[in-house]
Chain A
């Protein structure tokens, strides 16, 4: 899939996370160049997902965050999520069950592609790209895990994001599939010149990225993870 290169880096300046005064993530800086994948490593429950929620603007009101998020030099910290244009992929694909595969992709496509034929064409191209030509009318539930993951990524890319966040999207796939899907995602990140942040607790993910690696949550491990 080829979209306009929107070269611009993603910068986190002094970003940290607190819950009721307790530090979850100590403030840190991170710069991710366009087309680069940065990895944030940490044990489960240390606040990695909340960090991504803060970057894309959907942080739970019960948590407090510091620091600023800059995208291509523009401070987006105060913008509502829908105006940041930061795409996110979760561990679950979260394809909408009330829509077909093609309709899920259409949901991501911006409305300025008005013409119905043009919309169909873009969606068809996206499906072909995912190796899913002819799957448009299917119910997402009938797809395999890897197929759903690819549709979710393409839905995100159709919305023309300026950056991409990956919340352990490979964790639920089995090993062989994981490698292939990871390559699929990273190829698209590069060809779309998207600055990308991946959070994971799987050490195998980091070397595959090739970008900067940040380790968080080691200090709060003792009281972070388990539900008491």
Chain B
């Protein structure tokens, strides 16, 4: 039957569709590949535009002798690996400990807003919150601490990168939690748990011993993406990591922007080092997985039943609530600062309020806001069209996706941005369209597309194929089935994927700078440009608006009325 339908479907309106996957891959893998080559060549001295025509190791010598390089690498590694480890442990721990509890349902409901808020807004908000002059110390000073002036301790930009690690954990835990839940939905976890518990296993032990081994392969790639991101993040690190010396990615970024053009070579070598660091960290993580598997097997079969799991549940719940509360307080802090006229230390709240901070930004804010909005909408729309094309092509031709396809999709998320964007920029300059809208949207698309695809693919593939078959048998063409049956049935996941894409675009920093050639200012680039400036009120305006745009997009999707026509009330207890 399915084969017959495929035969039926193939000749009708599918001719152009089969080129969509190839086009998609070309659009978003070519820049990554070309960017890597365009970065590696200068790293070994070859860059004719700047007079480098001889292959050699001079850039590497300059890189290695750069003062503080070792500290930078070590700082990146520590913050990145620690943040990934904590986020993974917490996300898995929460699911293991709270699976199927009421608290879990509540945590799940607040996942989307936390995912929507850009990394940078959390970083800025967190720095406003935990700095020596931050909101937390204001709330407890001077009555509890006795401090009339901010204490002289490095609570943000601390030498160990802990503030950066903390901010990364706030943002990455919800993402990994979402991925774990998605994997869980396909793993028959309920039956596995029922078996293990009827054999006498405590709830948390049962989950870790029987469900985790089944779902880990599915959350492996997201974990690697988090690791790659955490090791090479720039915008968050500018606010939260120490700056002398900074993490490696910031160092590389500075070299690429150095007025001395010769530093481009060092930057390119640094970019290669950054990539090597990510590759090494992923390999190490893989080794640790193997080790855990070997040790875990003994533990798995030793028969230990575990306890009631109440303590881990409470710990995991407490940690998650702490993360949510910190994120919410960070955003609230941004809003307060953006509305403060005067907020002297150690007042708990602004002493006088104003809208001037917003109004005074006038055209600059308007321009940055509309650039952000336009780029985000355009990138999300293109990504959505390509994703739908790929998925529809896959279904019409009865294809299944391979694991390798998934790795390709993750490629732009696994390769550090500073590791290839310079080369991509060189490419766009040579093609003569750097600094155009097309280059800007294309560069965002690299990172928007994987997320749109990942968030839509499951719903699309899981739509009951009998609906499409029924429509085909009623004489509808495959295109009509797509527009009139599938899309309307999937309107929610489709719009949700679009909101995800929009949020990803809003958060982009390096792509905007590299592809925009300095001609485009978004809320993100403006906010970073304000880093180090003393005025929290202006920074609050930009960072808050940056956080609000994606939140509004998600709120709009969630507020959509469920467009389901019912003949009458649903029968009570009908299977969902």
Q: How large is the interface on B (under 10, 10 to 19, 20 to 34, 35 or more residues)?
A: 20 to 34
Assembly CA distance A205 to B81 (angstroms) = 57
* B297 part of interface (Cβ distance < 8 Å): yes
Contact A82 B200 (CB under 8 A): yes
- A107 and B200 in contact (CB under 8 A), knowing A22-B573, A61-B100? no
Assembly CA distance A182 to B192 (angstroms) = 23
Contact A57 B301 (CB under 8 A): no
* B69 part of interface (Cβ distance < 8 Å): no
The one of A82, A90, A97, A228 that contacts B305, using a Cβ cutoff of 8 Å: A82
Question: In the complex, which residues of chain B have a beta carbon less than 8 angstroms from the beta carbon of A119?
Answer: 303
* A99 part of interface (Cβ distance < 8 Å): yes
* A108 part of interface (Cβ distance < 8 Å): yes
* A30 part of interface (Cβ distance < 8 Å): no
* B183 part of interface (Cβ distance < 8 Å): no
The one of B193, B199, B203, B575 that contacts A107, using a Cβ cutoff of 8 Å: B199
Q: Interface stretch among A65-73, A109-117, A125-133, A191-199? A: A109-117
Assembly CA distance A98 to B211 (angstroms) = 10
Contacting A at CB under 8 A, from B202-220, are: 202-203, 206, 209-210, 213-214
Assembly CA distance A106 to B572 (angstroms) = 44
* A88 part of interface (Cβ distance < 8 Å): yes
Q: How many chain-A residues does the 8 Å CB contact rule pick out?
A: 43
Question: In the complex, which residues of chain A have a beta carbon less than 8 angstroms from the beta carbon of B191?
Answer: 90, 92, 94
- A103 and B203 in contact (CB under 8 A), knowing A81-B197, A94-B192? no
Question: In the complex, which residues of chain B have a beta carbon less than 8 angstroms from the beta carbon of A98?
Answer: 213-214
Assembly CA distance A38 to B203 (angstroms) = 29
- A81 and B303 in contact (CB under 8 A), knowing A19-B573, A22-B572? no
Contact A85 B301 (CB under 8 A): no
Contact B197 A103 (CB under 8 A): no
* B477 part of interface (Cβ distance < 8 Å): no
Contacting A at CB under 8 A, from B298-323, are: 300-305, 308
Contact A109 B198 (CB under 8 A): no
Chain A: which residue is nearest B574 at the CB level?
A228
* B571 part of interface (Cβ distance < 8 Å): yes
Contact A85 B200 (CB under 8 A): yes
Q: How far is the CB of A82 from chain B (nearest CB, A)?
A: 5
Contact A82 B201 (CB under 8 A): yes
Assembly CA distance A107 to B201 (angstroms) = 10
Contact B303 A107 (CB under 8 A): yes
- A87 and B194 in contact (CB under 8 A), knowing A20-B573, A98-B214, A106-B303? no
Assembly CA distance A49 to B308 (angstroms) = 25
* B408 part of interface (Cβ distance < 8 Å): no
Question: In the complex, which residues of chain B have a beta carbon less than 8 angstroms from the beta carbon of A94?
Answer: 191-192, 195
Q: How far is the CB of A156 from chain B (nearest CB, A)?
A: 7
Chain A: which residue is nearest B102 at the CB level?
A61
Assembly CA distance A21 to B574 (angstroms) = 12
Assembly CA distance A97 to B302 (angstroms) = 17
Contact B194 A156 (CB under 8 A): no
- A96 and B200 in contact (CB under 8 A), knowing A53-B194, A82-B305, A107-B303? no
The one of A88, A99, A227 that contacts B301, using a Cβ cutoff of 8 Å: A99
Contact B213 A88 (CB under 8 A): no
The one of B192, B193, B200 that contacts A159, using a Cβ cutoff of 8 Å: B200
* A14 part of interface (Cβ distance < 8 Å): no
- A80 and B203 in contact (CB under 8 A), knowing A107-B209, A223-B571? yes
Question: In the complex, which residues of chain B have a beta carbon less than 8 angstroms from the beta carbon of A148?
Answer: none
Q: Interface of A with B (CB < 8 Å)?
A: 19-22, 24, 53, 56-58, 61, 80-88, 90, 92, 94, 96-99, 103, 106-111, 113, 119, 155-156, 159, 161, 165, 223, 227-228
Can you pick out 27 interface pairs between chain A and chain B where the beta carbons lie within 8 Å of each other? A20-B572, A21-B573, A22-B572, A22-B573, A24-B573, A53-B194, A56-B194, A58-B190, A58-B194, A61-B100, A80-B197, A82-B197, A82-B200, A82-B201, A82-B305, A83-B200, A86-B198, A87-B199, A88-B198, A96-B213, A99-B300, A111-B303, A155-B199, A159-B199, A223-B571, A227-B575, A228-B571
Given contacts A87-B198, A98-B214, A155-B199, 16 further A-B contacts (CB under 8 A): A19-B572, A22-B573, A56-B198, A81-B197, A81-B198, A82-B202, A90-B191, A94-B191, A94-B195, A96-B192, A96-B213, A106-B303, A109-B303, A110-B305, A111-B304, A159-B198
